[in-house]
Structure 1
């Protein structure tokens, strides 16, 4: 009887993530309308094309004058309103009524607040306190940014504020990576298509829609194939149907069982696996391969395993190909509000709920359970062999509902 070759040792998480991201090809650059760029990542640093503000502006309602003329009185000679600047120059003993956002007239270097002054006909007097320093209520030219300043770096994820900044800086189009095409293949004879009533030997095919939803906060178009039966020819046909995708994600079939056909299908297609198996729980049987510029990511079939590996691998892959400067999620230190038991032989990711002050572990941590996954908004990292941790112990936590807000 032929001897079964030994399984490769599982890779450490950081090494596996680094190998995956090293494979990720950058998508082509395109120029998009700024107003239609929300969620994309800048492919190049964005410089300012103008000064903001383009002239000194008043930060308050009041009167513009020369500080040298304190303590007054002053003669009112005109007005500067937002969009309607005073056309002349403020001379000795003169003042101009000014509104918030209006251009400070030439010759003026101080804005006296309205509540610190009194007006009688065209005479203005000081009745309160003059600003200290004199320019306190003036926004200087270029206060926000000046021409050629780098306002946003390459790899920055564009959000609503960044759209406003880019437009204010003189841009109507921005360079980004084009939208990513992802295909999710759900495999297994036990799966019933969504919307159908499963037989007693079946379960609803929930992983495909769940994994497709991972990319919905990013410029990703998702297509689902399946459920695909546990036949080599059917799986190869599914891979062929996904030939135009940038990323193929499979759910199930990446382990060592007789019906786990992802590796045999890739071998039949001549696709070499870059690595297989990662030392984490849940999610050990994870597979990564590359076919040309296409990345194939084989995730486990258990729902929690599929979601955790999608968070740790699929999401960073999508972000890296879209041009994110920092595609990996980051942890923060949060105190436990429930105790945590001793760690096992692998790094673990425990489903938990963060309430803004601390994090509570869900009592159910089975990799086949969806309820704790839906309740969770955090993953607590438990290192291999970690000692038991009582309430109040700081632990490293991924805030999973903030995944698209991280840069």
Structure 2
């Protein structure tokens, strides 16, 4: 059996970053920039006021209170077109351009205006309450770098830099095929020997969460012809994810049926728990990851193997999902030859440290515990017994 590290390395070698495409600014959330984004203008374009008040010359405020002549105003979107002379003031508003000759802003709370005169009660140093041109960014500066996963804050900056369109990496198209006579979709009639399939729903949401576009191929019964027919729907996809049919039972048909359809098998079975019967290969030009059928195994393997592949295709660092250290709140037995991923609850203890409590039951059919978990505790192969308060590696969910 392959180690987790070797299996992941082989999987990632099969994927490349996808080609760029252009999307509108409003469709950029969650996409990854394919090129640096440079400012197309300077912001602010000129020195502007940060407050409502009066633009004045600091040299006129040597003696206070000082009475100045109000010669005009500078609202946001407007300006006072002349140079400010000695003894003059301009009524100014937040965002208004600072007139030539003025070098400070007196906030209106420290003034008293009557007709065309303003009484300045408190002075300020030169530059006070003035936002200089280019304070935020200057034309030509790189505001967002290639490889940025775009958030609402990033899109706000892109808009301010005057970019209505963005060059981003294409979303991976991921075909999802569930298998098994025993599973039916939510809402369908459930036979006496059947269960609801949660894997398709979970994987479609998972793919979207990772920035991909899921394509459901449905549920293939344990029938060779039906499985082959549905699997052909993956042609043209960037990745095929199958669930179930990956083990060694008489009804586990994925390897044999897809082998007849041209599946080039890279490996089958890895030294991990849950998820030992993982398949990886290529069906035609489409890489395929065959996930185990148990719902917890499906999602854990998706996190460990499919997520890095999707990250690489979308232009992100596939190893970005870093492990962290946490202290155990309970002891753990020694591990066997398989790398274990234990569902667990992650909190902070009274000392501010991350502390983790693995659940007592780790059955791979128990979705409710996976839903309650917010991390996985990693137990390497042959890890010795661990006592309470020892550090372990965890991956956040």
* TM-score computed with the length of structure 2 as normaliser: 0.88
Q: Which residue in the other structure is 1:135 paired with? A: 127
Provide the C-alpha distance between the structure 1 equivalents of 2:99 and 2:391, rounded to a whole number of angstroms. 56
| Counterpart among 64, 71, 75 of residue 81 in structure 1 | 75
Q: Which residue in the other structure is 1:285 paired with? A: 277
Q: Residues 104 and 124 of structure 2 are in contact (CA less than 8 Å); yes or no, is this contact kept in structure 1?
A: no
Q: Which residue in the other structure is 1:404 paired with? A: none
Provide the C-alpha distance between the structure 2 equivalents of 1:392 and 1:105, rounded to a whole number of angstroms. 65
Distance 1:122 1:150, change over 3 A: same
Backbone CA RMSD of aligned residues: 2.5
Q: Which residue in the other structure is 1:299 paired with? A: 291
| Counterpart among 263, 266, 270 of residue 271 in structure 1 | 263
1:195-248 Cα offsets, whole Å, 9 max, x none, are 234334322222111111102235433222332122333322221122132211
Q: Residues 71 and 126 of structure 1 are in contact (CA less than 8 Å); yes or no, is this contact kept in structure 2?
A: no
Provide the C-alpha distance between the structure 2 equivalents of 1:293 and 1:111, rounded to a whole number of angstroms. 66
Structure 2 unaligned regions, length at least 5: 350-354
Q: CA deviation at 1:126?
A: 4.3
Are 1:49 and 2:40 counterparts?
Answer: yes
Distance 1:152 1:275, change over 3 A: farther
Q: Alignment partner of 2:263: what SS?
A: coil
Q: Residues 40 and 219 of structure 1 are in contact (CA less than 8 Å); yes or no, is this contact kept in structure 2?
A: yes
Are 1:31 and 2:22 counterparts?
Answer: yes
1:123-142 Cα offsets, whole Å, 9 max, x none, are 444434625xx324222212
Distance 1:129 1:279, change over 3 A: farther
Q: CA deviation at 1:392?
A: 4.9
* Residue correspondences, number: 389
| Counterpart among 375, 378, 396 of residue 378 in structure 1 | 375
Provide the C-alpha distance between the structure 1 equivalents of 2:307 and 2:301, rounded to a whole number of angstroms. 9
Provide the C-alpha distance between the structure 1 equivalents of 2:394 and 2:89, rounded to a whole number of angstroms. 58
Provide the C-alpha distance between the structure 1 equivalents of 2:128 and 2:385, rounded to a whole number of angstroms. 56
Are 1:367 and 2:330 counterparts?
Answer: no
Distance 1:253 1:98, change over 3 A: same
Q: Which residue in the other structure is 2:137 paired with? A: 145
Q: CA deviation at 1:325?
A: 4.2
Q: Residues 210 and 307 of structure 2 are in contact (CA less than 8 Å); yes or no, is this contact kept in structure 1?
A: no
Q: Which residue in the other structure is 1:333 paired with? A: 325
Q: Alignment partner of 1:272: what SS?
A: strand
Q: Residues 177 and 322 of structure 1 are in contact (CA less than 8 Å); yes or no, is this contact kept in structure 2?
A: yes
Q: Residues 351 and 362 of structure 1 are in contact (CA less than 8 Å); yes or no, is this contact kept in structure 2?
A: yes
Provide the C-alpha distance between the structure 2 equivalents of 1:206 and 1:166, rounded to a whole number of angstroms. 39
Q: Which residue in the other structure is 1:62 paired with? A: 53
Are 1:90 and 2:90 counterparts?
Answer: no
Q: Residues 78 and 97 of structure 1 are in contact (CA less than 8 Å); yes or no, is this contact kept in structure 2?
A: yes
